[in-house]
Amino acid sequence: MISEAERAGAELVVDLGAVVANWRALRRMVGPRVDCAAVVKADAYSLGMVPVARALAVAGCRSFFVATPDEGTGLRRVLGRHGAIAVLHGVPPGAEGFFARHRLTPVINDLGALERWGRHARARGRAAAAYVHMETGLNRLAMPAADVERLIADPAPLRGLAATWMGHLACADDAESPMNRAQLDRFRGLLARLPKGAASFVASSGIALGRDYTFDQVRPGYALFGGDLAPGARKMRPVVRLRARILQVRRVDTPGTVGYGAAHRVTGLSRIATVPVGYADGYRRSLSGRAQAAIGTRLYPVVGRISMDLTTIDVTEAPANTARPGAWVDLIGRRAPIDTVGAWAGTIGYEILTGLGRRFPRRYVGGPDGA
């Protein structure tokens, strides 16, 4: 029987050793007194939460963040009794018992939820952990300023809770943005007026802003998975490689076109390689005519429209023995990093990663129990 990758004609190779190396590199950047958590929401940015979280846990990571309660219970099964799991979207009314049973820590985004969670902890007679995410300028999901002021005036809802004060930056990927300092000042101002507790302020990009920003805990996701911390910041180790097998190579001569809409016109005798990955796999249509793909170490242009299941690459310049049916092409990898593919697609690497399809298998290398 041929392998799953051969049947799919493509595979996503995920280097768990590189994930762990990235986590260790970030930990070194923030220093020994700062907890380096791992954000593994959205199935670890589609790379597979179970193997990713297991590799990080084996490496010593003890704090994880997910978005939803279901992601939290899935992660709890992986971690067993060990490790803290914070749920960014908070605890829905009536779900307090569920959170306690699965040892999930809510990120609290309004005063009502804090009151519910505190009441539940006091009724159980056990101190419970909570993140309190305070609005500092992102205006997305966090405790509104008026609620924070009420909490400062009357901290009674915090009884029985061990609170970690949390914030989140809007423009962390732009070190020059005045928003960073403004949000930092607001966060510090609130900390000075609130009961003492640990603080967690930044995700991947914010780590590059320096130690003023890292407080007691940082919450990287994207950088663990090989994404750039920020433009010009140190590079993380690449983690993913999307490989596809050439199905067919054809000669097209002038006048001739390639793909839907006859959008690409060849000039002169060309060789076009077709691979079985398309926009249904997250290789976005906006990459048409803009992306490049690697055979070995050389890049070749993606030409014509990317279709649902197929992509065409101009391999005229490639030696015939490399661009042949059955050969493998890297659509994402060292020569085409996720941030670059994101830029080619007119979006960000995050959207490329999280949008990767499920039609091809994930193959894990470099892991604690992998190759």
Which residues are annotated as catalytic? 41, 260
Using CB under 6 A, pick the residue from 76, 219, 241, 284 that binds ligand PLP.
219
Taking Cα atoms as reference points, which of 299, 278, 242 lies closest to residue 15?
A: 242
Query: Distance between CA atoms of 310 and 287, rounded to whole angstroms?
Result: 13
Is residue 204 part of the contact set for ligand PLP (CB under 6 A)? yes
**Minimum distance of ligand PLP from residue 194's CB (angstroms):** 19
Binders of ligand PLP in range 105-164 (CB under 6 A): none
Q: Residue 365 forms beta bridges with which residues? A: 15
Nearer to ligand PLP, 202 or 291 (CB): 202
Give 255's contacts (C-beta < 8 A, 6+ positions apart).
265
Residue 202 has φ and ψ, to the nearest 5°, of -125, 155
Is residue 203 part of the contact set for ligand PLP (CB under 6 A)? yes
268 three-class SS: coil
- Kindly indicate which of the ranges 12-20, 119-127, 219-227, 324-332 contains the residues binding ligand PLP, using the contact rule CB under 6 A: 219-227
Half-sphere exposure of 285 (CA within 13 A, CB side): 9
Nearer to ligand PLP, 89 or 285 (CB): 89
Nearer to ligand PLP, 126 or 140 (CB): 140
298 three-class SS: strand
Is residue 88 part of the contact set for ligand PLP (CB under 6 A)? yes
Nearer to ligand PLP, 35 or 330 (CB): 35
**Minimum distance of ligand PLP from residue 42's CB (angstroms):** 8
Is residue 39 part of the contact set for ligand PLP (CB under 6 A)? yes
**Minimum distance of ligand PLP from residue 62's CB (angstroms):** 17
Query: Distance between CA atoms of 46 and 239, rounded to whole angstroms?
Result: 12
**Minimum distance of ligand PLP from residue 300's CB (angstroms):** 31
- Kindly indicate which of the ranges 177-185, 214-222, 269-277, 309-317 contains the residues binding ligand PLP, using the contact rule CB under 6 A: 214-222
Nearer to ligand PLP, 221 or 367 (CB): 221
Query: Distance between CA atoms of 15 and 237, rounded to whole angstroms?
Result: 9
77 three-class SS: helix
Is residue 222 part of the contact set for ligand PLP (CB under 6 A)? yes
- Kindly indicate which of the ranges 24-32, 156-164, 218-226, 311-319 contains the residues binding ligand PLP, using the contact rule CB under 6 A: 218-226
**Minimum distance of ligand PLP from residue 186's CB (angstroms):** 16
Q: Is the peptide bond before 255 cis (omega within 30 degrees of 0)?
A: yes
**Minimum distance of ligand PLP from residue 367's CB (angstroms):** 21
Nearer to ligand PLP, 54 or 168 (CB): 168
Query: Distance between CA atoms of 347 and 365, rounded to whole angstroms?
Result: 28
Give 156's contacts (C-beta < 8 A, 6+ positions apart).
none
Using CB under 6 A, pick the residue from 168, 241, 245, 284 that binds ligand PLP.
168
Answer yes or no: are the C-beta atoms of 199 and 216 closer than 8 Å.
yes
Torsion sign over Cα 276, 282, 285, 291: negative
Residue 241 has φ and ψ, to the nearest 5°, of -140, 120
Tally the residues of the chain. Answer: 371
With contacts defined by CB under 6 A, how many residues of the chain interact with ligand PLP? 11
Counting Cβ atoms within 10 Å, is residue 212 exposed (0-12), middle (13-18) or buried (19+)?
exposed
Nearer to ligand PLP, 17 or 220 (CB): 220
Element holding 201 (H helix, E strand)? strand 198-202
Using CB under 6 A, pick the residue from 74, 157, 221, 238 that binds ligand PLP.
221
- Kindly indicate which of the ranges 51-59, 96-104, 221-229, 237-245 contains the residues binding ligand PLP, using the contact rule CB under 6 A: 221-229
**Minimum distance of ligand PLP from residue 252's CB (angstroms):** 41
Distance of alpha carbon 236 from the chain centroid: 13
Interacting residue ranges for ligand PLP, rule: CB under 6 A: 39, 41, 88, 168, 203-204, 219-223
